[in-house]
Amino acid sequence: MNYGFVKVASAIPRVRVADCAFNASQIEKEIIIADGKGVEIIVFPELCLTGYTCGDLFAHSLLLESAELGLMQILNNTRQLDIISILGVPVPLNGMLLNAAVVIQKGKVLGVVPKTYLPNYKEFYEKRWFTSASEVMEPMVRLCGQNVPLNACLLFDTAGTTFGIELCEDLWAPIPPSSALALQGAEIIFNLSADNEGVGKHNYLRSLIAQQSARCIAGYVFSSCGFGESTTDVVFAGNALIYENGTLLASGKRFSFEEQVVTSEIDVERLRTERRVNTTFASCRAQTAQGVARHVATEYVNARDLQLTRTFDPHPFVPQGPMLDERCEEIFSIQVSGLAQRLTHTQAKSAVVGISGGLDSTLALLVCVQTFDKLGLSRKGIIGVTMPGFGTTDRTHSNAVDLMESLGVTIREVSIKDACLQHFKDIGHNPEVHDVTYENSQARERTQILMDIANQTNGLVIGTGDLSELALGWATYNGDHMSMYGVNASVPKTLVKHLVKWVAENGMGEASRKTLLDIVDTPISPELIPADEDGNIRQITEDLVGPYELHDFFLYYFLRFGFAPSKIYFLAVRTFKGVYDEETVKKWLQTFCRRFFNQQFKRSCLPDGPKVGSVSLSPRGDWRMPSDASSALWLNDVAPL
């Protein structure tokens, strides 16, 4: 099972200029290495069989004949392999010479793709030797005793994907051939290149490939020649780059004196989902004036079980590395701007927030504080309400009060115990029975208090619930599920923790910082069940519904790319190896699938709130799902795992 992944490779062989026999042996060696790694498609640099820097030697028949002999050698010695190889070869045709990519598999030449844009400026003189694909009328070429399809717009169909090819300068054109190839079905683009080095050029190249792979919603595998090419006037560093929809998956070592085979797996299923969701892609395909591509069938190449080498972030919602500060500030600013507009539009005089001493309400309060500061309003207009109940612990209550005091907001405390006990008496519920009625009545009592205080003060109730809770339905319907504006609605739990920590470490006073960091370390709990005999939290959310880092991982791949549970399980088991065993992953994945479907009714009437990332559950925007959809198909996909 390959779960939509296609293993690809970018190879940088050692070359000797004009020594086709040596070059063929080097290429053959790298093909065999790649096949041993389970690679399905491998690409080599431009004109790798002769060397790119042969110059006027390209006019010599002896060199061209030697190149064809070298190609025949490779065909003969790799005919037992399933791998598809894409080689750079000069191909003579009716008095012309083509700078071409030759696609081979199992001893057959599948197709020849000539280069379209021949650079003829500065250090490049390709029009001196080669003819552009745009000037070629012939649909076929004879090569190595085989009649082979010839076209710049060939699409190669495998069992796992469809791919297209462009060569070096083609990528640098205002409208690269890969754009038309992608619109006509290519999911992976392979580029054979001879890209010489210059100061700053490499960064520009990476940006160019990232942008093109993103625009095409495609994989992009780039191979540029390296050590062994002539350094008479320029130097070739050997660039091996593999991108997927704008993201770098793998890269080789530049200026290496050794051959390289850089591999990774491109998630074609993910690309297909992105294209289906992005209706602009389909619109462009319908409107393109490009010619119709010719399809070439290949033999089945996706037969072996996948040996996944690429890694996946266990916390896909959480920014990492040098981008952490910038991303956290951006997310926080989106929340602040959303709330500022709503307060301004409604002319609200206050923002009312229930403060529990937990992560979600803390983040909501911090957003309110920053919003009021930016609007030039007094923080006293923020009414923080702590509402101790049967499960409130000293730690969370103290943190709630300490935080509000340090931030200078208005503090109100309203115990819900007496009101809930009276309510239990009114409806005939035994307060010693700690069931769903016992828990939900507390959440609804708190919401009623907040709503009424908002009415008293001409304010808005600011919702604190996060994206992870919404996905699992871990909220009381018409209780903490409801507010007048939910600032955390598209912020997952794993990100909430990092945002609170980021705020604590950026511009907070010592008192606030200390409290915030203790809140980050507090176990996540709704505190609806009485504490234990030592006063500690008894009701730990992650013991009941599962670890949030797992659920956020499930949520990301379920919503962002529409992956089946079996594929999510496959990724999660590898990503969390050593943290959670297979049974644990399966258990909580089943919980996720079951709850995600049967709790949709809560999301169907979700309060307004700002979208901050690529995943949201707003019923007015990103996620429109019937509340009575069956989860059977998804649960059945998990069951046999």
Per-residue model confidence as pLDDT tens digits over 31-52:
999 999 999 999 999 999 999 9
For residues 470 and 557, the answer to whether their CB atoms sit within 8 Å is: no
Per the listing, tokens 């082979």 go with: 148
Q: What is the pLDDT of residue 302?
A: 63
Residue 357 annotated as binding site: yes
Q: Give me the mean pLDDT over the 233-262 stretch.
A: 94
Pairing status of strand 188-193 against strand 382-386: unpaired
Token pair in block for residue 112: 């020849």
Residue 291 has pLDDT above 80, yes or no: no
What are 384's strand-pairing partners? 353, 411
Q: What is the pLDDT of residue 324?
A: 84
Topology of domain 5-297, per CATH?
Nitrilase/N-carbamoyl-D-aminoacid amidohydrolase (3.60.110)
Token pair in block for residue 428: 């005939």
Taking the CB of residue 190, how many other CB atoms lie within 10 A of it?
28
Token pair in block for residue 126: 């390709």
Residue 201 annotated as binding site: yes
| Percent residues over pLDDT 90 in the chain | 85
Per-residue model confidence as pLDDT tens digits over 107-149:
999 999 999 999 988 888 889 999 999 999 999 999 999 999 9
Pairing status of strand 485-486 against strand 459-463: parallel
Of 104, 128, 108, nearest in space to 118 by CA: 128
In the set 168, 225, 328, 368, the catalytic residue is 168
Residue 476 annotated as binding site: yes
The CA distance from 73 to 204, in Å, is 37
In the set 7, 115, 497, 586, the catalytic residue is 115
Residue 531 has pLDDT above 80, yes or no: no
The CA distance from 410 to 433, in Å, is 35
Residue 3 annotated as binding site: no
Taking the CB of residue 506, how many other CB atoms lie within 10 A of it?
12
Q: Give me the mean pLDDT over the 272-285 stretch.
A: 92
Q: Give me the mean pLDDT over the 59-84 stretch.
A: 97
Residue 147 annotated as binding site: no
* Helices (runs of H) and strands (runs of E) counted in the chain: 21, 20
Burial of 423 (0-12, 13-18, 19+ CB in 10 A): middle
Residue 30 has pLDDT above 80, yes or no: yes
Report the phi/psi class of residue 611: left, alpha or beta, with left for phi > 0 and alpha for psi in -120 to 50.
beta
Is 549 in the active site? no
Per-residue model confidence as pLDDT tens digits over 193-226:
998 888 888 999 999 999 999 999 999 999 999 9
Per-residue model confidence as pLDDT tens digits over 398-450:
999 999 999 999 999 999 999 999 999 999 999 999 999 999 999 999 999 99
Q: In one letter, which amino acid is 626? A: P
Residue 61 annotated as binding site: no
- What does the mean pLDDT of the chain come to? 94
Q: Which CATH superfamily is domain 321-638 in?
A: HUPs (3.40.50.620)
Per-residue model confidence as pLDDT tens digits over 302-334:
667 788 999 999 999 998 888 888 999 999 999
The CA distance from 34 to 83, in Å, is 8
Is 122 in the active site? no
User: CA angle at residue 85 from 80 to 88, to 5 degrees?
Assistant: 135
Residue 289 has pLDDT above 60, yes or no: no
Domain coordinates of the chain in residue numbers? 5-297, 321-638
Report the phi/psi class of residue 408: left, alpha or beta, with left for phi > 0 and alpha for psi in -120 to 50.
left
Token pair in block for residue 246: 């704008």
Length of the chain: 641
Q: What is the pLDDT of residue 507?
A: 75
Token pair in block for residue 43: 């690409």
Is 168 in the active site? yes
Residue 485 has pLDDT above 80, yes or no: yes
Residue 1 has pLDDT above 80, yes or no: no
User: CA angle at residue 533 from 528 to 538, to 5 degrees?
Assistant: 35
Confidence band (pLDDT; 50, 70, 90) for 343?
Answer: very high
Confidence band (pLDDT; 50, 70, 90) for 290?
Answer: low
Instruction: Classify residue 107 by its DSSP letter.
Output: T
Biggest CA–CA distance in the chain, Å, is 101
Residue 428 annotated as binding site: no
Per-residue model confidence as pLDDT tens digits over 596-619:
999 999 999 999 999 999 999 999
Q: What is the pLDDT of residue 247?
A: 96
Q: In one letter, which amino acid is 240? A: A
Per-residue model confidence as pLDDT tens digits over 353-364:
999 999 999 999
Residue 288 annotated as binding site: no
Question: Strands (DSSP E) along 199-334, which ranges?
Answer: 219-224, 240-244, 247-251, 260-267, 294-297
Q: Give me the mean pLDDT over the 516-524 stretch.
A: 89
For residues 248 and 212, the answer to whether their CB atoms sit within 8 Å is: no
Residue 477 annotated as binding site: yes
Confidence band (pLDDT; 50, 70, 90) for 300?
Answer: low
For residues 547 and 588, the answer to whether their CB atoms sit within 8 Å is: yes
Q: What is the pLDDT of residue 301?
A: 65
Q: At what angle do helices 548-560 and 493-504 cross, to 10 degrees?
A: 110
Q: What is the pLDDT of residue 174?
A: 95
Q: What is the pLDDT of residue 190?
A: 99
For residues 611 and 621, the answer to whether their CB atoms sit within 8 Å is: yes
Residue 534 has pLDDT above 70, yes or no: no
The alpha carbon torsion through 561, 566, 571, 576 (nearest 10 deg) reads: 130
Q: What is the pLDDT of residue 173?
A: 95
Residue 469 annotated as binding site: yes
Q: Give me the mean pLDDT over the 575-584 stretch.
A: 97
Residue 117 annotated as binding site: no
Per the listing, tokens 């010599």 go with: 60
Instruction: Classify residue 160 by its DSSP letter.
Output: S
Instruction: Classify residue 88 by its DSSP letter.
Output: E
For residues 600 and 629, the answer to whether their CB atoms sit within 8 Å is: yes
Residue 519 annotated as binding site: no
In the set 28, 40, 46, 166, the catalytic residue is 46
